[in-house]
Chains A and B, each alone.
Chain A
Amino acid sequence: MNTTALEYIVFFAASLMMLGGAVGVVLFRNPVHAALGLVLTLFGVAVHFVAQEAHFLAAVQVIVYAGAIVVLFLFVIMLLGVDKAVDLTIEPIPIQRPLAAVMTVGLVGLITAAVVKAGDAIGTLNPGLGIDVAGDIGRDGQVVSSDGNIQQLARNLYNDHVLAFQLTSVLLIVAVAGTVLLTRKWPKQGAAA
């Protein structure tokens, strides 16, 4: 089996995982099942990342998204006790679902038309952002970049985007402090202390 056929198998398997999980998120009646569908989608995206030589992002995707964010979702579902199936046949606003379907088809159609029209301007997948070491031969037979994926990413992040990196730390601190303030139970004003 040649490499191209293998790439096709990986691409279609990952796409199937990704889109199947996404459909599951929308259609499952139980929020716990929807969260598990989200895990499937995130793993599919991680496989796509590996296929495009974004190895660090694939690892981060699995650890942060599938590991932390989905666990947070499941934790909140259990905490609130909303892990019951809901009846999806009830439509509070009758015209909403057909309109949403029309909007979705239009959106996907527009993006697909734009991508197809751009065609060759988008280019082909180039090796060089991956983990290959200096002097290795990439899949096109050319010598790939000397830096691994993580080194390239780190150099870019800490040189060109260092201010944005600092600001994300402020964002995370504010988010954590805000969440603690939001969810805390405050004692009633004027209550006997």
Chain B
Amino acid sequence: MIAAIEPTWYLIVASLLFGIGAFGLLVRRNPLVMFMCIELMLNAANLTFVAFATSLGDINGQTAVFFVLVVAAAEVVVGLGILVSILRRRPGATADDLAELKG
């Protein structure tokens, strides 16, 4: 008889996902891909919230994930809006080119 899956496993998988997202955020130069890496990190946090909600039997963790989803949607909308207005003025700009805020 093998043991049932424990929340610990979910936490470790979530930490791996967070690590991959953080690595991608640091090494990629395309601002769009950097946003996707932020989404990966947010999803790792969501997975942790749900794992603890299930292990503690507390629905508050799932409510927190709900709010994270809303904030992530708002963040993507504003971030992509900024990106569109920057790249319209300077096509093909990477994160290195955006070191100064001057248009």
Contacts and interface: CB of A to CB of B under 8 A. Distances in A.
Q: Is the interface of B mostly helix, strand, loop or mixed?
A: helix
Q: How large is the interface on B (under 10, 10 to 19, 20 to 34, 35 or more residues)?
A: 35 or more
Nearest to A175: B74
Given A115-B15, A157-B66, A41 B2 contact: no
Interface string A78-93: 0111100010000010
Contact of A68 (B4, B65, B71, B73): B73
Contact count band on A: 35 or more
The SS class assigned to the A binding surface is: helix
Contacts, number: 238
A124 B23 CA distance: 30
A108 B54 contact: no
Contacts of A86: 29-30
A51 B5 CA distance: 10
A57 B62 contact: yes
A11 B10 CA distance: 9
Interface in A108-152: 108, 111-112, 115-116, 118-119, 122-126, 128-129, 149, 152
Contact of B23 (A51, A65, A100, A116): A100
Contact of A38 (B16, B36, B77, B82): B36
Contacts of A23: 20
A176 B77 contact: yes
B16 to A, nearest CB: 6
A182 B83 CA distance: 10
B43 A26 contact: no
Interface string B53-95: 1111101101101110111111111101111110110011000
A168 to B, nearest CB: 5
A75 B2 CA distance: 46
Interface in A161-193: 161, 164, 168, 171-172, 174-176, 178-179, 182-183
A24 to B, nearest CB: 10
A4 B76 contact: no
B94 to A, nearest CB: 8
12 contacts: A25-B33, A65-B72, A72-B76, A73-B76, A80-B91, A111-B12, A129-B54, A153-B59, A156-B60, A156-B63, A157-B63, A168-B67
The 4 closest A-B CB pairs, nearest first, are: A179-B81, A26-B24, A111-B15, A100-B26
Given A60-B69, A125-B4, A176-B77, 10 more contacts: A8-B5, A26-B28, A45-B43, A56-B62, A80-B88, A80-B91, A101-B23, A105-B19, A108-B15, A182-B78
